[in-house]
C-alpha cells in the first residue's frame, strides 16, 4: 500500500474533505495519484460527497470552474450516467417522438470523459405492453447502442404505438441508468366516425337525394379531427323483393336492385374533413329501382375505382346510412286474374277485382289510393263495403259492423302495390259491362264482367 493509500485509509473522512478543499492547488500529477488511491481503497464515493459539499460552499473541487482545464486529470473515464435530452415528451399515437432519447456516460468529478466510453453498451427499454412504442433500428420496444468516445448516447427514432397513456423508457449501462418520461396521446388521431347527415333518407327514383352524406371524424377524446380522409360508399341492394319480383327498369339481373350514384355515376367518393371534423360526399342520385339499400363513411381511401364493402382499413367502424328509393307517380294499373269473368244476376263474382299499380319504370307503388267504379245504370253491380262506426267499442250486446252497397269503392295498395276491391255482386240486369279502376293520372284498368240471366 502506498503512502497516499495509507493516508486515505487512516482517516478517510478528513482526508477526503482535505483533498477536495486543496484539489485546485495540488497539481495534475498529484490529482491523478489521489484519484487512483481513492479508487484503490474504495473511497471514491466519499471523496465525491466531499467534493459536492465543497461545491455547495464555494470550495475548490476537481475540475473547478466546470470540470475542464488544468484541474482535471490527464484522462477521465465514465463512472455514472446522466440524462441529456428527450424527457418529458408527448406525441400522437403511431407518431415518432420529435426529440431523440439522449443520455451520456459521465464522471462524477465533473471532468469531460475522454477515455473508456467508446462502445460501452447502453440498452433502451420501453414497456412490452400497453402504451409504449418501438425503436426504428430494431422494430421492437428495446434496442442497444454504443456510446461514442465522449460518452454521448443517442437512441434511434422512437415511435409511439396506438395505445394512449404515459410511461417510462429506461436506458441502462454498466455505469447506471436513467429514465425518460413519455406520453402517447390520442388528441388529433382519428378514433371514430359518426354520421352527421340523417342516417335515413328517401328520394324518388331517378331523382337526387335532398342531402349529401356527411360524417364527423373524432379523436379518442371526442375532439374533431381536421384533414382526415373519408371514403363514402354506396352499396346496391341485393335482397330479394318481398313481392317475389324485381322492381325498376334496371332490375334485370341477379344482384341488381335499388342503388344510387355520385356525380359521374360513381358508387364511391372521397372527401377530407374540415376544421369541424366533417367530411361531406358529393350529391347523390337514386337509380330507377325502388327499394332500400345502404351507404357508409369509412376512414381512409380505397385507392381504387371499384366499389368496396364499406369496411375501414383503419380498424375504425364506419358510419352507416340507410337510403330508400321511392317509386314514382302511378303510371299503369294492371288488372289481375279477375279481369274477365261472369256470374248469375244477383250473385257475387267468384274472383275479387284487383290491380297492380306501377310507376313509369315498373316499380310497384305501395299505399296509393285506387278507385273501382261500376256503371251507374244497366247491367252492373255493387261493392259491399263496411261502414265505419263511431259508436262505443263493440261488446257482446252490440250489433256487428254494418255494411252498405256502393258502385264506387276506394282502397289503398298494399306493400306490393296491389289493391283488392271489396266483394262485388251483380245486380238484377243481365248483360255485359265494364268496371274501371283508376289511380291519379294513370291509365285506367278495365274489368269485363257479365251478369248471366238465370
Q: 351-400: per-residue pLDDT in tens? A: 999 999 999 999 999 999 999 999 999 999 999 998 876 655 656 655 66
Quote the pLDDT of residue 56: 40
Give yes or no: residues 159 and 273 share one domain: no
Mean pLDDT, all residues of the chain: 85
Quote the pLDDT of residue 61: 43
Nearest-5° Cα angle at 177, 176 to 179? 165
Collapsing DSSP to helix, strand or coil, 69 comes out as: helix
Give yes or no: residues 110 and 214 share one domain: no
Give yes or no: residues 347 and 446 share one domain: yes
| CATH code of residue 208 | 2.60.40.10
Give yes or no: residues 292 and 387 share one domain: no
Give yes or no: residues 181 and 194 share one domain: no
- Of 316, 439, 270, 322, the closest CA to residue 369 belongs to 439
Beta carbons within 8 Å of 195's beta carbon, 6+ residues apart: 213, 214, 215, 297, 319, 320, 321
Give yes or no: residues 344 and 439 share one domain: yes
Is the pTM higher than 0.75? Answer: no
Answer with the one of 281, 298, 326 that is the final residue of a domain. Answer: 326
Quote the pLDDT of residue 408: 97
If you average pLDDT over residues 9-19, what whole number do you get? Answer: 57
What confidence category does residue 230 fall into, taking pLDDT thresholds of 50, 70 and 90?
A: very high
State the Cα–Cα distance between residues 297 and 414, nearest whole angstrom. Answer: 34
Query: Over the stretch 241-289, which tens digit does the pLDDT of each residue have?
Result: 778 665 554 443 444 489 999 988 999 999 999 999 999 999 999 999 9
If you average pLDDT over residues 221-250, what whole number do you get? Answer: 81
Give yes or no: residues 352 and 314 share one domain: no
Q: Which of 57-61, 311-315, 348-352, 396-400 has the lowest mean pLDDT?
A: 57-61
Give yes or no: residues 195 and 181 share one domain: no
Give yes or no: residues 321 and 347 share one domain: no
437 with 419: CB under 8 angstroms?
A: yes
Give yes or no: residues 204 and 318 share one domain: yes
On the CB side of 384, how many CA atoms lie within 13 Å of its CA? 13
What confidence category does residue 48 fall into, taking pLDDT thresholds of 50, 70 and 90?
A: low
Query: Over the stretch 315-330, which tens digit does the pLDDT of each residue have?
Result: 899 999 999 999 999 9
Residue 275 belongs to what domain range? 190-326
Answer with the one of 23, 52, 71 that is the final residue of a domain. Answer: 71
CA-CA-CA-CA torsion for 255, 257, 258, 259, nearest 10 degrees?
A: 50
Answer with the one of 128, 152, 185 that is the final residue of a domain. Answer: 185
What confidence category does residue 15 fall into, taking pLDDT thresholds of 50, 70 and 90?
A: low
Q: Which of 78-87, 190-199, 252-261, 277-286 has the lowest mean pLDDT?
A: 252-261
Give yes or no: residues 196 and 285 share one domain: yes
**Per the structure, how many domains does the chain have?**
4
Task: Tally Cβ neighbours within 10 Å of residue 408.
Answer: 12
Give yes or no: residues 85 and 52 share one domain: no
Question: Is the pLDDT score of 153 beyond 60?
Answer: yes
Amino acid at each position: 500500500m502506498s503512502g497516499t493509500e495509507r493516508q486515505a485509509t487512516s482517516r478517510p473522512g478528513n482526508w477526503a474533505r482535505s483533498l477536495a478543499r486543496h484539489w485546485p492547488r495540488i497539481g495534475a500529477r498529484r490529482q491523478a495519484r489521489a484519484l487512483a488511491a481513492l479508487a484503490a481503497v474504495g473511497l471514491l464515493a466519499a471523496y465525491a460527497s466531499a467534493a459536492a459539499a465543497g461545491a455547495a460552499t464555494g470550495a475548490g473541487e476537481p475540475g473547478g470552474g466546470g470540470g475542464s482545464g488544468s484541474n482535471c486529470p490527464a484522462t477521465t473515464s465514465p463512472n455514472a450516467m446522466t440524462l441529456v435530452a428527450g424527457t418529458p415528451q408527448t406525441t400522437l399515437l403511431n407518431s415518432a417522438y420529435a426529440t431523440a432519447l439522449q443520455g451520456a456516460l459521465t464522471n462524477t468529478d465533473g471532468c469531460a470523459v475522454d477515455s473508456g466510453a467508446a462502445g460501452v453498451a447502453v440498452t433502451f427499454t420501453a414497456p412490452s405492453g400497453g402504451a409504449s412504442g418501438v425503436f426504428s433500428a430494431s422494430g421492437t420496444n428495446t434496442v442497444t447502442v454504443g456510446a461514442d468516445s465522449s460518452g454521448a448516447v443517442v437512441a434511434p427514432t422512437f415511435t409511439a404505438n396506438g395505445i394512449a397513456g404515459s410511461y417510462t423508457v429506461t436506458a441502462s449501462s454498466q455505469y447506471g441508468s436513467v429514465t425518460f418520461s413519455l406520453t402517447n396521446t390520442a388528441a388529433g388521431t382519428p378514433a371514430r366516425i359518426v354520421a352527421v347527415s340523417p342516417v335515413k333518407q328517401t328520394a324518388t327514383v331517378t331523382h337526387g337525394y335532398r342531402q349529401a352524406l356527411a360524417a364527423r371524424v373524432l379523436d379518442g377524446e371526442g375532439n374533431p379531427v381536421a384533414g382526415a380522409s373519408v371514403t363514402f360508399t354506396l352499396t346496391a341492394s341485393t335482397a330479394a323483393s318481398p313481392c317475389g319480383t324485381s322492381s325498376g327498369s334496371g332490375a334485370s339481373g341477379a344482384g341488381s336492385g335499388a342503388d344510387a350514384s355520385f356525380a359521374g355515376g360513381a358508387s364511391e367518393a372521397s372527401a377530407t374533413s374540415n376544421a369541424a371534423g366533417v367530411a361531406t360526399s358529393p350529391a347523390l342520385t337514386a337509380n330507377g329501382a325502388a327499394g332500400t339499400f345502404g351507404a357508409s363513411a369509412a376512414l381512409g381511401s380505397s385507392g381504387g375505382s371499384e366499389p368496396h364493402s364499406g369496411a375501414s382499413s383503419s380498424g375504425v367502424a364506419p358510419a352507416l346510412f340507410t337510403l330508400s328509393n321511392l317509386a314514382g307517380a302511378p303510371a299503369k294499373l294492371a288488372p289481375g286474374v279477375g279481369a274477365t269473368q261472369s256470374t248469375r244476376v244477383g250473385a257475387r263474382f267468384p274472383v275479387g277485382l284487383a290491380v297492380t299499380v306501377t310507376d313509369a319504370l315498373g316499380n310497384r307503388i305501395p299505399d296509393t289510393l285506387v278507385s273501382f267504379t261500376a256503371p251507374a245504370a244497366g247491367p252492373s253491380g255493387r261493392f259491399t263495403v263496411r261502414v265505419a262506426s263511431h259508436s262505443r267499442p263493440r261488446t257482446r250486446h252490440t250489433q256487428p259492423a254494418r255494411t252498405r252497397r256502393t258502385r264506387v269503392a276506394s282502397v289503398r295498395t298494399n306493400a306490393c302495390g296491389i289493391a283488392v276491391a271489396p266483394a262485388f255482386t251483380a245486380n238484377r240486369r243481365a248483360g255485359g259491362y265494364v268496371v274501371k279502376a283508376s289511380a291519379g293520372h294513370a291509365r285506367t284498368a278495365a274489368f269485363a264482367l257479365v251478369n248471366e240471366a238465370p
